[in-house]
Chains A and B, each alone.
Chain A
């Protein structure tokens, strides 16, 4: 158990809908990262937040957005969902964020868009 929690574990929704994935980092960690794992794209970095502020963006679609709240939990919002958004979404956390720290991953949220 990494100490990173993600909810929900599974999510099934329809195209065009909007969903919110939630992540709680390890106690004391200030950085949260989101990754998408899909069959065709593999594991891809989406976005990094540090202490409430966006730090880095990867291959994140404009239909997706994220935020990190004062209590340091983070939410990833996916809107206008398409079939191709079906994937496993991982959250990871690390103590800081400005240095190359080890990232600890949560169990993931499996999203299925029908």
Chain B
């Protein structure tokens, strides 16, 4: 079955880079996503990567995908206190009928001033 795993917690200092890691199991995934959830808020789509890409950069965000190892990472450059949130990776599973996301457990990022 599908399973997406993330480490629970990451703490960094303001201005440092943060790297949040994720492993997934379904090799048929076509898209992999990163969502951000701030306290008491919904899920905000940060970025996504298509499975035939190795890297995608979007301003301070860099996504790296290692398909062989089924490993996905999100790097946040120059991390700010406003980046403190829970980050979820998700894989898109397309079965015969529909489209659903399978999420990791989330990584809580704490940014210290």
Binding site for B on A (CB under 8 A): 2, 31, 33, 35, 42-45, 48, 50, 55-56, 58, 90, 92, 94, 97-108
- B94 in contact (CB, < 8 A): yes
Give the distance in Å from the alpha carbon of A51 to the alpha carbon of B86 in the complex: 32
- B33 in contact (CB, < 8 A): yes
Give the distance in Å from the alpha carbon of A50 to the alpha carbon of B98 in the complex: 8
Give the distance in Å from the alpha carbon of A98 to the alpha carbon of B103 in the complex: 19
From DSSP, what is the main secondary structure of chain A's interface residues? strand
How far apart are B6's CB and chain A's nearest CB, in angstroms? 10
Is A42 a contact of B105 with CB atoms below 8 Å? yes
Contact of A45 among B42, B97, B102 (CB under 8 A): B102
How far apart are B29's CB and chain A's nearest CB, in angstroms? 8
Contact of B48 among A98, A99, A102 (CB under 8 A): A102
Among A35, A55, A100, the one with the most B-chain Cβ atoms within 10 Å of its Cβ is A100
Proximity bits, B24-43, A CB within 8 Å = 1, else 0: 00000011010100000111
Residue of chain B at shortest CB distance from A107: B42
Residue of chain A at shortest CB distance from B98: A56
Taking CB atoms, residues of chain B closer than 8 Å to A104 are 45
Count chain B residues whose beta carbon lies closer than 8 angstroms to a beta carbon of A. 25
Proximity bits, B93-113, A CB within 8 Å = 1, else 0: 011011111111110000000
Seed contacts A56-B97, A56-B100, A100-B94; 16 additional CB < 8 Å A-B pairs? A2-B44, A42-B103, A42-B106, A43-B103, A45-B102, A58-B100, A90-B42, A94-B99, A98-B98, A98-B99, A102-B33, A102-B45, A103-B101, A105-B45, A106-B42, A107-B41
Given contacts A106-B42, A107-B42, contact A55 B98 (CB under 8 A): yes
Is B103 a contact of A48 with CB atoms below 8 Å? no
How far apart are B95's CB and chain A's nearest CB, in angstroms? 6
- B62 in contact (CB, < 8 A): no
Give the distance in Å from the alpha carbon of A14 to the alpha carbon of B10 in the complex: 37
Give the distance in Å from the alpha carbon of A107 to the alpha carbon of B102 in the complex: 19
